[in-house]
Structure formats: structure tokens, C-alpha cells
Amino acid sequence: MVKRQFPNPVEILDLMKFKKPELNGRKRRLDAALTIDDLRIIAKRRTPKAAFDYTDGSAEGEVSLTRARQAFEDVEFHPGILKPAPDVDTSVEILGGPSALPFAIAPTGFTRLMQTEGEVAGAGAAAAAGIPFTLSTLGTTSIEGVKEVNPEGRNWFQLYVMRDREISYELTRRAAAAGFDTLHFTVDTPVAGARLRDKRNGFSIPPQLTLGTIVNAIPRPWWWYDFLTTPKLEFASLSTTGGTVGELLDAAMDPTISYEDLAVIRDLWPGKIVIKGVQNVEDSVRLRDAGVDGIVLSNHGGRQLDRAPIPFHLLPSVRKAVGDDFTVMIDTGIMNGADIVAAVALGADFTMIGRAYLYGLMAGGREGVDRTIAILRTEIERTMRLLGVASLAELEPGHVTQLQRLVPVAR
């Protein structure tokens, strides 16, 4: 029998430990976010549906994005034992410069529509964390504005080849003049993917006030207050706006983009150049042989061709084909620091985060982006310690098994 006694008031008081209440609402909700998915939930609550869905959604049935995320979930890690790693080194040299973490902020378009601080928040957070920031051709802060926010850090520029080639050439010159060190030449957007959420929401640039958007705005007055009381949206390459994102892309992009365009841009660009949107082994090898500085395995976050190859599944084959000395980066589907560790183990030199960054931005502006980076940093460090590795260089394919659900049918 358990011996019973009257509760001791002193012991009860000992158990009553109350935290000092956090009066800052933004800090309170961000501190409560322990994962990127937690930030996504906050972002959805605080952002109008059309803007949130533009970020959260992808093309057609959204199969590519679902598969990309599933691929990272279908990872089995193989930790080593009795290999203490009390201190881990998450730094890496990439494309001729340092990064404190094995990821950069990816280029995202129309970013101030998500939250009014936009690229300024992203570039500032990247500078503070010591990681690269990538500005999109369709960004809502100028090249020079990003440089002003991140004057000493690493800035990268993502370039679309436009129908009016001179627009692309001038952007290339401006980015070089501003000291951006790497150009991401993007090849997976000859035309816009079918982003059905945007069409169903009637999402346009700039947002239009309709009965639906007004009803949706009622519980989110802060977003509209920020949107209506801050400077008008400005795009790095589009002088006119109006219509859906797909209509804007189709009007601007050119499906005739070719290796000839790459040659012209290479002549204009003095820094490193990587090709973003590579989706097969053959193109990876051809680009290596063409002398570019690296590639990004990417299906554009699932926003272009639905049912496109899964970059994470493609990674081991590409690494084997191009060798160890060629820079291979990866994006699409990364939502956890463990995803980044798995990618590095299987041969990625570096990774890029898009939606994860935007969820933090929508959840809390600059502080939200800081929180995204802090969450990923913690997850990377914890995963490395549990695997028994003290540096990224110690990660190897033996640390990871890709558990495949999708097996090609024999022909």
C-alpha cells in the first residue's frame, strides 16, 4: 500500500514556478514556434488567403511539392555511437566564400506581398546569421536596396531571361555593380506553371479589393494596414503590373531561352554563375562541361511542371555523374534542419530555403525570419550531434538511406 499524507504547503509552493509573462505579442507567438510548420500555422492565421496560398501553393495538383516533402520524410538516418560531438561546426565554403550554415535564403518573387518588410527582412536576417541572401528578378526590393541592408554580407541575384533581353542584361550589370557575388541563371521557367490556387483566389498583382478580399481581410486588419501605409510595391524588372502571377510571367518570360543566352550572360557577369532549375543527370554533366560554377537541383518548389523529378532523389545520381569537385546545390521541400543534413550527406554542397523563410516572414517580419534561421540551426546541430559528426565534412552517404515509395516501372 502507498502511504498517504496531507500535502505539505511548502512543497506545493516549491512546485509553483510561474514564468514572467511576455507582453510583446509578436515575440510571444514566435517563441512558441518550435518548428517551421509552427511558423506556417501562424503565417496562415495572420495573412490573407490569396497571399498565403501564393506562397504555400504550387502547380496544378501540387504533386511535385507533396513528393518533394515526402522524400525528406522518407529518410532513415544511421548514427554512429561513442562518437562524441559536443561542439559542431555548421560552416561551409560555397562558391568562393563562407557561410555560417549550409543554406541560403532562396529567391522569392513579390515578397512584400507576404509581409511588408519583404526582402529587407530576409537580407537583414541573412546578414545577421552569416548566410547568403538571394534576390529574385521578381523581388519587391531593388538590387541597390538589398545591398544597403546587407552591405558586408553575401548577396546573390537570381536572373530570369526576359522577352526583352535588355532588361535581363541591365539587371545583370546592376547586380555586378552592387557587388553581388553569384548569379543564379534560372532555366525552369520558359512559361508559367498552372498555379491553380492563385486563379481560384483571383490573386493579382497588386492585390485587388473585392468583396472576397474584404471579407478575408476583416480578421487580418494589420496586413492591410501595412500594405496600404507603406511604399508602393516596386519590382526589379517589371515596370507595369496587373493580372495574375501566371499572366505576368507569361508576358515577361521567353520560351526560346537557350545556351546562347547563357553565353551572353556569362560574358556580362564577372562573378560566379550557377544554373538553377536543373532536373536530370544529363543536363548536370553538360553544364559542368560547359564550365559553369555550379548547379541547383530544383523543380522551382513544385511551382512549374507538376510531377517533375524530385531533386532530393536525383541528388545521389547527379553527384556520382559530375564528380566531387563540382558545386551541386538543392532546394524544394526543405522544412527541417534534418532535411538539410540529409542533403549534405548525400552529396549536396549547399541548400536553399524558400517557403520556410516566407512562413517566418509572414509570422513575424524580420523577427520571424530570424526565428526560421534559429529553428533550422538548432535542428541541424542536434541532428549532427545525434549522428556523431562534428562537422559537415564528416557527413557521408552511409549516414542516410532514402526510403523510396516511388519505384520506376521496368520498361
Question: Is residue 3 domain-resident?
Answer: no
3-state helix, strand, coil in the chain (%, to 5): 45, 10, 40
Q: What total of structural domains would you count in the chain?
A: 1
pLDDT of 241 over the 60 cut: no
Predicted pLDDT at 200 = 86
Dihedral sign (CA 367, 125, 94, 55): positive
Helix (H) or strand (E) holding 152: none
Predicted pLDDT at 410 = 67
Question: Is residue 132 domain-resident?
Answer: yes
> Of 184, 300, 313, 399, which residue is the catalytic one?
300
Question: Is residue 112 domain-resident?
Answer: yes
Q: How many residues does the chain have?
A: 411
Share of the chain above pLDDT 90, in %: 69
**pTM given for the model:** 0.92
pLDDT of 240 over the 60 cut: no
Question: Is residue 248 domain-resident?
Answer: yes
Least confident piece of the model among 50-54, 221-225, 325-329: 221-225
Dihedral sign (CA 246, 251, 254, 255): positive
Dihedral of the alpha carbons of 139, 259, 164, 305, in degrees to the nearest 10: -50
* Confidence label for 182 from pLDDT (cuts 50, 70 and 90): very high
Cell of 62: 501540387
Judge whether 77 and 400 are in contact, CB under 8 Å. Answer: yes
pLDDT tens, position by position, 40-94? 999 999 998 888 999 999 999 999 999 999 999 999 999 998 888 889 999 999 9
Question: Is residue 256 domain-resident?
Answer: yes
pLDDT of 332 over the 80 cut: yes
pLDDT tens, position by position, 353-390? 999 999 999 999 999 999 999 999 999 999 999 999 99
Q: Has 300 been annotated as catalytic?
A: yes
| 103/191 Cα distance (integer angstroms) | 28
* Confidence label for 236 from pLDDT (cuts 50, 70 and 90): low
Question: Is residue 199 domain-resident?
Answer: yes
Beta bridge partners of 92: 99
Judge whether 135 and 146 are in contact, CB under 8 Å. Answer: yes
Only one residue has cell 526583352, namely 164
Range of the domain at 251: 27-393
pLDDT tens, position by position, 120-161? 999 999 999 999 999 999 899 999 999 999 999 999 999 999
Stronger pLDDT, 250 or 277, i.e. the higher one: 277
What letter represents residue 221's amino acid? P
The backbone torsions φ and ψ at residue 151, rounded to the nearest 5 degrees and listed phi first, read -70, -30
Predicted pLDDT at 246 = 64
Cell of 160: 530570369
Stronger pLDDT, 239 or 75, i.e. the higher one: 75
Instruction: State the CATH number of the domain containing residue 309.
Output: 3.20.20.70
Predicted pLDDT at 155 = 98
Judge whether 109 and 122 are in contact, CB under 8 Å. Answer: no
Question: What burial class does residue 66 get, using C-beta atoms within 10 Å of its C-beta: 0-12 exposed, 13-18 middle, 19+ buried?
Answer: middle
Question: Is residue 2 domain-resident?
Answer: no
Other beta carbons within 10 Å of 247:
15
| Distance set, CA 175 to CA 136, 171, 228, 268 (Å) | 11, 6, 29, 11
Stronger pLDDT, 121 or 19, i.e. the higher one: 121
Share of the chain above pLDDT 70, in %: 93
Q: At what angle do helices 25-32 and 36-46 cross, to 10 degrees?
A: 140
Question: Is residue 13 domain-resident?
Answer: no
| 362/174 Cα distance (integer angstroms) | 29
